[in-house]
């Protein structure tokens, strides 16, 4: 096997072996932040986090560059990276993850895209999320679209509600390519982009999607605030190698947000029924902890959404709430506990960013370092240093005794 600097995950596949040990990942979406201009402290530094700090004292700390220097990760590649999938090799569109996240029966070759219901006035995007409409209204609008929009081709389309303003569009048929540009401009004050094919194989898909958008525009013309749709993350679905086959891990996902349920299904993890709120997710982890699984993924979403809303105080409050629930994880006594994030979402920026994310790893054989607080600046002084995001899976496997010796 010819190795490059991005091939270490293939070595883990060769060395992985079955052991009776358990790994828990607590992934706080968008956890990393930047100092508040008035206090000079990040959200993590501001929050009172005695339980996180205790874990930091007991384990190894560091920072992860999730995709690479200067690259701002999306949540999909961010999570795949943490699960040991090289994000430059395994690229998956947001639409595929959203479809899998709502248990849609996606078929190989389907074209999937994420959809936002949006508010457009005089041809210009006023609100990309249509005021975060209620899921019930989304369902009514989705039904209205299905009943009034037809596409003339030998295939079919699907339009399904995800939650609030989010939906999924799936195109199924022959000779369809998935290389399409987004129509979502990702900001307000400008017009939605026209659909464009990136290659010849996707021209048919582009024509069908363009036709669909125009018809939906007519159907939603009398609606408010959701009078238009924006689409992004087009992808032709192809299954990925499974976690059990790569690293011998039987995984389970405890998440409420569809995208993260989707990325878990994509790599063969089981997904618990929708657990609901934050406390219910921690309880669901306890309920499913046992002999059925080796790898447990617990996801927290609002550390990201509060950052995207530029709400520094709410993000701090969310971090403190999670800290208060940490004993429900430590009481399970996992062999390895990892706490980290898929990307940074500083409230001072109101968006995802390229900044490395803090990480701590607690295990019996992990080297405890001098870090006594879990935040971005303290973790920078930790044993793990600054390293690629995929490394955390190798370290988790090793600390769980799940990697054999390399070579004679």
- With 60 as the cut, is the pLDDT of residue 1 above it? no
* Residue from 132, 82, 20 nearest 299 by CA: 82
Both structure tokens of 34:
């930047």
In the three-class reduction of DSSP (H, G, I as helix; E, B as strand; rest coil), residue 101 is classed as helix
Mean pLDDT of 330-346: 98
Tell me which of 183, 202, 236 is where a domain ends. Answer: 236
Global confidence as pTM: 0.84
Residues 126 and 183 both lie in one domain: yes
When pLDDT is cut at 50, 70 and 90, the band that residue 331 belongs to is very high
pLDDT value at residue 91:
82
Q: Is 269 inside a domain boundary?
A: yes
Q: What is the mean pLDDT of the chain?
A: 94
Tell me which of 236, 259, 287 is where a domain ends. Answer: 236
pLDDT in tens, 250-278: 999 999 888 899 899 999 999 998 888 99
114 beta partners: 168, 232
Residues 250 and 357 both lie in one domain: yes
The counts of H helices and E strands in the chain are: 15, 13
Residues 68 and 211 both lie in one domain: no
Residue ranges making up the domain that contains 339: 8-90+240-399
Residue with tokens 């024509």: 207
pLDDT value at residue 92:
84
- With 50 as the cut, is the pLDDT of residue 4 above it? no
pLDDT value at residue 5:
55
CATH assignment at residue 297:
3.40.720.10
Residues 62 and 120 both lie in one domain: no
Phi/psi at 123 (5° precision): 80, 5
Residues 152 and 22 both lie in one domain: no
pLDDT in tens, 78-131: 999 999 999 989 888 888 988 988 889 899 999 999 999 999 999 999 999 999
**E strand or H helix at 362:** strand 357-363
What's the 3-state SS for 130-195? CCCCCHHHHHHHHHHHHHHCCCCCCEEEEEEEEECCEEEEEEEECCCCCCECCCCCCCCCCCCCCC
- Can you tell me the distance from the alpha carbon of 172 to that of 109, in angstroms, rounded to the nearest whole number? 7
Residues 244 and 340 both lie in one domain: yes
Q: Judging by beta carbons within 10 Å of its beta carbon (0-12, 13-18, 19+), is residue 131 exposed, middle or buried?
A: middle
Q: Is 3 inside a domain boundary?
A: no
- Can you tell me the distance from the alpha carbon of 297 to that of 243, in angstroms, rounded to the nearest whole number? 12
Number of structural domains (the chain) is 2
- Return the CA Rg of the chain: 22
- Can you tell me the distance from the alpha carbon of 362 to that of 335, in angstroms, rounded to the nearest whole number? 8
Residues 203 and 309 both lie in one domain: no
CATH assignment at residue 118:
3.30.70
Q: Do 263 and 29 meet the contact criterion of CB atoms below 8 Å apart?
A: no
Q: Is 144 inside a domain boundary?
A: yes
Both structure tokens of 218:
């007519």
Task: Look up residue 16 and give its DSSP letter.
Answer: B
- With 60 as the cut, is the pLDDT of residue 2 above it? no
Residues 263 and 375 both lie in one domain: yes
pLDDT in tens, 268-309: 999 998 888 999 999 999 999 998 999 999 999 999 999 999
Q: Is 346 inside a domain boundary?
A: yes
Mean pLDDT of 13-26: 96
Residues 190 and 246 both lie in one domain: no
pLDDT value at residue 101:
83
pLDDT in tens, 184-237: 999 999 999 999 999 999 999 999 999 999 999 999 999 999 999 999 999 999
Residues 72 and 118 both lie in one domain: no
Residues 286 and 354 both lie in one domain: yes
pLDDT in tens, 148-158: 999 999 999 99
Q: Do 247 and 12 meet the contact criterion of CB atoms below 8 Å apart?
A: yes
pLDDT value at residue 375:
97
- Can you tell me the distance from the alpha carbon of 338 to that of 64, in angstroms, rounded to the nearest whole number? 12
Give percent of the chain above pLDDT 70: 99
Q: Is 404 inside a domain boundary?
A: no
Tell me which of 236, 252, 273 is where a domain ends. Answer: 236
Give percent of the chain above pLDDT 90: 89
Q: Do 278 and 300 meet the contact criterion of CB atoms below 8 Å apart?
A: yes
Q: Is 408 inside a domain boundary?
A: no
Q: Is 407 inside a domain boundary?
A: no
Q: Is 406 inside a domain boundary?
A: no
Start-to-end CA distance of the chain, whole Å, equals 17
Answer with the residue of higher pLDDT: 160 or 7. Answer: 160
Both structure tokens of 90:
């395994």
Residues 128 and 31 both lie in one domain: no
């Amino acid at each position: 096997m010819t190795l490059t600097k991005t091939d270490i995950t293939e070595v883990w596949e060769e060395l992985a072996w079955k052991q009776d040990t358990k790994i828990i990942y607590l992934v706080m979406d968008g956890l990393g932040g930047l100092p508040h201009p008035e206090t000079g402290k990040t959200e993590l530094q501001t929050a009172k986090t005695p339980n996180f700090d205790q874990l930091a004292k007991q384990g190894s700390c560091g920072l992860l560059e999730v995709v690479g220097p200067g690259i701002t990760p999306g949540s999909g590649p961010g999570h795949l990276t943490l699960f040991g999938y090289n994000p430059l090799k395994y690229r998956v569109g947001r639409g595929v993850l959203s479809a899998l996240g709502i248990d849609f029966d996606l078929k190989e070759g389907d074209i999937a895209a994420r959809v936002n219901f949006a508010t457009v006035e005089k041809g210009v995007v006023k609100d990309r999320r249509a005021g975060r409409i209620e899921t019930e209204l989304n369902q009514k609008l989705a039904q209205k679209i299905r009943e009034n929009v037809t596409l003339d081709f030998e295939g079919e389309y699907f339009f399904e509600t995800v939650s609030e303003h989010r939906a999924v569009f799936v195109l199924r048929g022959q000779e369809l390519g998935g290389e399409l540009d987004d129509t979502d401009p990702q900001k307000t004050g400008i017009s939605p982009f026209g659909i464009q094919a990136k290659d010849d194989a996707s021209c048919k898909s582009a024509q069908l999607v363009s036709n669909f958008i125009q018809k939906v525009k007519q159907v939603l013309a009398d609606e408010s605030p959701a009078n238009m749709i924006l689409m992004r993350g087009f992808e032709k679905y192809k299954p990925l190698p499974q976690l059990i086959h790569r690293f011998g891990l039987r995984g389970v996902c405890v998440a409420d947000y569809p995208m993260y349920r989707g990325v878990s299904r994509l790599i063969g993890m089981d997904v618990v029924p929708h657990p609901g709120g934050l406390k219910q997710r921690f309880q669901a982890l306890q309920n499913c902890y046992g002999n059925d699984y080796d790898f447990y993924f617990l996801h927290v979403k609002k550390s990201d959404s509060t950052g995207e809303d530029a709400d520094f105080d709410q993000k701090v409050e969310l971090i403190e709430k999670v800290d208060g629930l940490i004993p429900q994880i430590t009481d399970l006594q996992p062999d390895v506990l990892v706490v980290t994030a898929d990307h940074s979402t500083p409230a001072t920026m109101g968006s995802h960013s390229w900044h490395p994310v803090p990480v701590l790893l607690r295990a019996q054989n992990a080297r405890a370092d001098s870090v006594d607080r879990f935040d971005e600046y303290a973790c920078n002084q930790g044993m793990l240093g600054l390293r690629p995001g995929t490394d955390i899976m190798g370290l988790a496997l090793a600390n769980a005794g799940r990697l054999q010796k390399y070579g004679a």
